[in-house]
Structure 1
Amino acid sequence: MTLFEECIHALGRNCKVLSKKETNRLFTELGEKYPFTDWGRIDWEKVKNRFYMESSDEIIKYLKREIPQLNSIVYIIWDEASCLL
């Protein structure tokens, strides 16, 4: 089992792998909202409101406090070259 497959398994039955079309739409939206470096990472130095968090629990607590109407969809961006073949 690959690391990708292990992660999908660990996330459980509510996990959904996006199609290429859905992935492209998500990346387009992300690119419109955040500045990116030439090597494809979010350029956090250019993001005005940013916070350092050490765990997913901290992120969830922050989101629930700051954006209570937020839905429960969370995107995990995974880059594995073998998935593109």
Structure 2
Amino acid sequence: MSLLDECIEALGENVHILSETDREKVIRDFESSFPFTEWGRIEWENVTYHADVSTVDEIISFLNQNIDEYSNVIYVIWDEGTLPIIQSDLDKVLEVIDDVTAVSFDTWIFSPYSGYVIEIFHDGEVKIGLK
């Protein structure tokens, strides 16, 4: 079983693998919502509202402080271009975050509906920000 398969299994019923067309749309939305460096990280100095976080509680606290009602529907995007994008809910993804981040080096949890992203970089740095 691959790490992707293990991740999908850990997420359970509330996971959907996007079609190629939907994947491309999410990538376009993601890239137009946040500035990126040439090496593929979000340019956080150009994101007005962002924070370094290290716990799930800090992520939830940031969202509660900055968004009146945030959407729990998110997309998980990995840096490996051959991997699919999956749709799930934030609570479940955070519950099994080790399975999610094991799939590839860098991971983004993106909500186009509420305009937030969580970037989990392979060196352990985690940031959250609003578009």
TM-score (norm 1): 0.78
Q: How large is the RMSD of aligned CA atoms in angstroms?
A: 2.0
* Structure 1 alignment gaps of length 5 or more: none
CA distance in 2, matches of 1:66, 1:3: 33
Greater helix percent: which structure?
1
**Larger Cα-atom Rg:** 1
SS of alignment partner, residue 50 of structure 2: coil
Q: 4+ runs of 1 displaced by more than 6 Å?
A: none
Q: Which residue of 2 aligns with 1:2?
A: 2
Give the paired residue count. Answer: 84
Structure number with greater CO (CA < 8 Å, separation at least 6) is 2
1:13 pairs with 2:51: no
Q: Which residue of 2 aligns with 1:63?
A: 63
- 1:1-85 equivalences under 5 Å are 1-80=1-80, 82-83=82-83
TM-score (norm 2): 0.55
* Structure 2 alignment gaps of length 5 or more: 85-131
Percentage of identical aligned residues: 38
